[in-house]
């Protein structure tokens, strides 16, 4: 998606050789108009599949998933919680995911009643590095007996191998912008 690449270059910031900061339009402050374009691109790429629910991780993926929902006929958006509230003490699926950016491990939790056997699930997220979050969500979907129709990510750091790993596991992955490398603050796209 050329508009996304341009926005990353003009409004984002590369830090070192592995981090891209896009908090001005994607994951701290949200450019809602631009998010509409992102949602339209996900709809174009996944127009050939049935989507019963959209699954993401709190918090950055929620806005993107919600913008996609109307385009897919308003399926519910379900988000995995990184910290379970005291009210979520039974009846949930759980999978661990390491965050490259934060250097932490989260136990993603989704209430069993929100992902059901046979449902067609589209996973949407803002960033993909090693693919840990998407792989954790995939484990949850599979444990529920639902079907993953695709994994969509806004920005992928291709040099960290996440999408390759997920494709090797048999998943369809669509990334709207793939960063091939970051070298002294210069971003190169695939």
What confidence tens digit (pLDDT) does each residue in 3-23 have?
999 999 999 999 888 889 999
Contact 111, 55 (CB under 8 A): no
Q: What percent of the chain has pLDDT over 70?
A: 96
Residue 125 confidence (pLDDT)? 93
Quickly count: other Cβ atoms within 10 Å of residue 47's Cβ: 10
- Per-residue confidence (pLDDT) for residue 140, from 0 to 100: 97
pLDDT, one tens digit per residue, over 72-112 is: 999 999 999 987 666 767 799 999 888 766 677 889 999 99
The answer to whether the beta carbons of residues 179 and 161 sit under 8 Å apart is no
Whether residue 183 has pLDDT greater than 80? yes
């Amino acid at each position: 998606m050329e508009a996304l690449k341009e926005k990353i270059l003009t409004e984002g910031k590369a830090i070192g050789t592995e981090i891209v900061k896009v908090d001005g339009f994607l994951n701290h402050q949200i450019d809602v108009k631009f998010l509409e374009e992102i949602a339209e691109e996900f709809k174009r790429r996944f127009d050939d599949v049935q989507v019963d629910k959209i699954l993401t991780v709190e918090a950055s993926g929620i806005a993107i998933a919600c913008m996609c929902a109307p385009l897919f006929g308003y399926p519910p958006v379900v988000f995995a919680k990184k910290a379970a509230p005291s009210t979520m003490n039974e009846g949930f699926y759980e999978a661990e995911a390491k965050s490259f950016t934060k250097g932490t491990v989260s136990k993603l939790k989704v209430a069993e009643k929100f992902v059901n056997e046979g449902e067609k699930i589209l996973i949407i997220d803002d960033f993909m590095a090693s693919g840990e979050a998407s792989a954790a969500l995939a484990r949850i979907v599979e444990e529920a007996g639902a079907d993953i129709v695709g994994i969509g990510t806004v920005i992928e750091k291709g040099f960290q191998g996440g999408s390759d790993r997920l494709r090797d596991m048999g998943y369809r992955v669509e990334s709207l912008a793939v960063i091939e490398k970051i070298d002294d603050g210069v971003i190169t796209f695939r």
